[in-house]
Structure 1
C-alpha cells in the first residue's frame, strides 16, 4: 500500500480531504496556489512545496483537487506540473470534476511517462469531505484502483469503480443532473406550499416519510425554509459542472432538457452575483421568477 502521498489543491474540499489523509498517518506533501491554504496542513505535519512538480516528486500517489478542466491541465501538464515531478510507477488521482474527454487526454499523456491515472470525482460537499464520507466515482484500470483503494477509503464511504478513464467523470455528470433536478423540484415544492399558505416545514416533514424523501429534501429543503445558503457546494461550481454536462450531451447528440433548465437556473444565479452561495440557492431564482 502506498505510504507517500501528495495532495495538490487545498480549497473548500481539498483541505479537509488532505487533513484526513494526514490524520490517517500518511506522509503527505502538499501544494496550493495560496500559501495560507497550506498552513493547516503544515500544522498537521505535512511538508509544503512550491510547485506541483516538487510535491509530486515526493509521492507514490498524487491527488489533485482543483476547480475546472484548465486548472487540472495546468497542475498536471503545465510548467512545474505533476508530470515534471512524478516518477514512473506513480499514480495520479484527480478528484476534481472536469471533462471526461480531457481526462482521457491527460491519462494518455501520463501513461506515456509511465504514470497511471484515476479520475475520482466526488459527491457529498464540504461536510462529506470533513467527515470522510464522500461518494467517490472512479474511472481507470482495475489494478490501479485496487492499489489506491485504501487511500480512497480514508476519504469516502461509497467508493465505486465505474469503468475506464473518464467513466468517473461521466458518472459525476450524471450525479450533478440528479442533484440539480432534485434541488429544483424541492424548491418548487416549498414555493408551492408557501404560496398556498401551508407550513413548508410540515410539508418537508411529511415528504421525508414517503417516496419523495431524499438527502436533498432533508438538507437543502431545510436550507430553503431557513433561507440559509452558506456554501457547502458553490453555485458557480455547479454551473461549471452543468456546462460540462451540456458539452458532453452535445458531443453525443443528446437532448437533455432537464439538465438544460438546471444550467439556466445556475446561470441566472451567477449572473445575479450569487455564485458564491450554495447551489440550493436555485430556490432564490425560482422565487424571484414568481414575484
Structure 2
C-alpha cells in the first residue's frame, strides 16, 4: 500500500483516483472544484485543500491536468508539487502535454531528487472507470518498475516506450490516429445514410472486417444516435492535435491527413462544439454535406 497524492480529479483523474483507493492505497486528492474532491472522499479517499496538502508525505504523486501550462504551474510553480515533494517521491504525470514540457519537468524533478515519469493514458472515461486504460510510459527502467504497483489498478496495458518525453510522443501519435479514425467513421456514416443503408447493420459488418477498430466499437453506436455527451471533449482533442502539429514541425515531418483532421476539429471547436465528445466531429462532417 502506498500513500498517494492525486492532483486533478476530472473526468479521467477522478475514476483513476477512486480505483487506487479500491486497490488499498491511501489517496489524498486535490482539485480546483470542491465537488470532485467530495466524490473522492465518498469513494474512501481523503480531500486536500491545496496541492501542498495533497503532496505532503506522499510516496507517489499523480497529476492529471488539462494542458502543458497547467502541468508547469502545478508541478514547477513556487508552491507546486516539486516545492513540497520529498526526495525519492515518484511523480507520475498522466496529463497529455508537449513532449518538451515532460522532459523539462523530468529535469527539474531530478534536480530535486524526485523520480518523474510521463504516463499519458488512452481509453477515455469508460476505461478510466473500469481501470483498463492503456498507459504509455516515458522515464527510466527503474522508475517504471517502481511505479507498476500503483499503475496496475488503473491500467490494463502498461508499456515503457522510452526515456522522458517518449510517453507523450506516443500519446500524440495515439491522438492523431484516434482523430483520423473518428473523422473517417463520421464520413462513413454520412456516406451510408446518404444511400439509405441501415447504418446499424452497416456498422456491424464493418466492425467485423478490416475496417473494425476500437473507435468504431466505442463510438459507432453513439454517433449513429447523435449522442455526444463528453467522455473526451473536442476542445481537448483540438489541444492534443496542436501538440501533434508542433511535434511534427520540430521533426520536419509532413502529416497531410493529420493536418486535415486537425483543421476539421478546429472548425468544430470554432463553431461551438468544443464541449461535445470528440465523436461530435460528425456534426462538422454532416454540415459539410448539408443541402443549401
TM class, shorter-chain normalised? over 0.9
In the other structure, the counterpart of 2:159 is 160
In the alignment, the residues of structure 2 paired with residue 101 and residue 53 of structure 1 have an alpha-carbon distance, to the nearest angstrom, of 25
In the alignment, the residues of structure 1 paired with residue 264 and residue 135 of structure 2 have an alpha-carbon distance, to the nearest angstrom, of 26
In the alignment, the residues of structure 2 paired with residue 107 and residue 41 of structure 1 have an alpha-carbon distance, to the nearest angstrom, of 28
SS at match of 2:153: helix
In the other structure, the counterpart of 2:92 is 93
Q: Offset at 1:79?
A: 2.7
Q: Offset at 1:269?
A: 1.1
2:147 pairs with 1:119: no
Contact 1:55–1:85, Cα closer than 8 Å, also in 2: no
TM-score, normalising length: structure 1? 0.97
Q: Offset at 1:216?
A: 1.0
In the other structure, the counterpart of 1:221 is 220
In the other structure, the counterpart of 2:172 is 173
1:155-209: CA deviation from partner (whole Å, max 9, x where unpaired): 0101110000000000000101111111111111111111111111111011111
TM-score, normalising length: structure 2? 0.97
Q: Offset at 1:34?
A: 1.2
Q: Offset at 1:217?
A: 1.3
With over 3 angstroms needed to count, the CA separation of the structure-2 counterparts of 1:79 and 1:34, relative to structure 1, is: farther
In the alignment, the residues of structure 1 paired with residue 218 and residue 44 of structure 2 have an alpha-carbon distance, to the nearest angstrom, of 34
2:201 pairs with 1:202: yes
Question: What's the Cα RMSD here?
Answer: 1.0
In the alignment, the residues of structure 2 paired with residue 55 and residue 197 of structure 1 have an alpha-carbon distance, to the nearest angstrom, of 55
Q: Offset at 1:48?
A: 1.9
SS at match of 1:272: helix
In the alignment, the residues of structure 2 paired with residue 182 and residue 44 of structure 1 have an alpha-carbon distance, to the nearest angstrom, of 35
In the alignment, the residues of structure 2 paired with residue 108 and residue 229 of structure 1 have an alpha-carbon distance, to the nearest angstrom, of 39
In the other structure, the counterpart of 2:61 is 62
2:188 pairs with 1:189: yes
Instruction: Please give the residue correspondences for 1:22-101 in structure 2 after superposition, counting only pairs within 5 Å.
Output: 22-101=21-100
SS at match of 1:184: helix
Unaligned runs of 5+ in 1: none
Which of 35-44 and 69-78 deviates more?
Answer: 35-44
Unaligned runs of 5+ in 2: none
Which of 255-264 and 97-106 deviates more?
Answer: 255-264
Q: Offset at 1:277?
A: 0.6
In the alignment, the residues of structure 1 paired with residue 263 and residue 79 of structure 2 have an alpha-carbon distance, to the nearest angstrom, of 37
In the other structure, the counterpart of 1:106 is 105
In the alignment, the residues of structure 2 paired with residue 196 and residue 46 of structure 1 have an alpha-carbon distance, to the nearest angstrom, of 52
Aligned residues: 290
In the other structure, the counterpart of 1:285 is 284
In the alignment, the residues of structure 2 paired with residue 42 and residue 202 of structure 1 have an alpha-carbon distance, to the nearest angstrom, of 44
In the alignment, the residues of structure 2 paired with residue 219 and residue 91 of structure 1 have an alpha-carbon distance, to the nearest angstrom, of 33
In the alignment, the residues of structure 2 paired with residue 218 and residue 110 of structure 1 have an alpha-carbon distance, to the nearest angstrom, of 39
In the alignment, the residues of structure 1 paired with residue 41 and residue 205 of structure 2 have an alpha-carbon distance, to the nearest angstrom, of 47
1:96-147: CA deviation from partner (whole Å, max 9, x where unpaired): 0000001101110010000010000000000010000100000000110101
In the alignment, the residues of structure 2 paired with residue 284 and residue 93 of structure 1 have an alpha-carbon distance, to the nearest angstrom, of 36
In the other structure, the counterpart of 1:14 is 13
SS at match of 2:49: coil
Q: Offset at 1:40?
A: 1.3
In the alignment, the residues of structure 2 paired with residue 251 and residue 9 of structure 1 have an alpha-carbon distance, to the nearest angstrom, of 29
In the alignment, the residues of structure 2 paired with residue 145 and residue 153 of structure 1 have an alpha-carbon distance, to the nearest angstrom, of 12
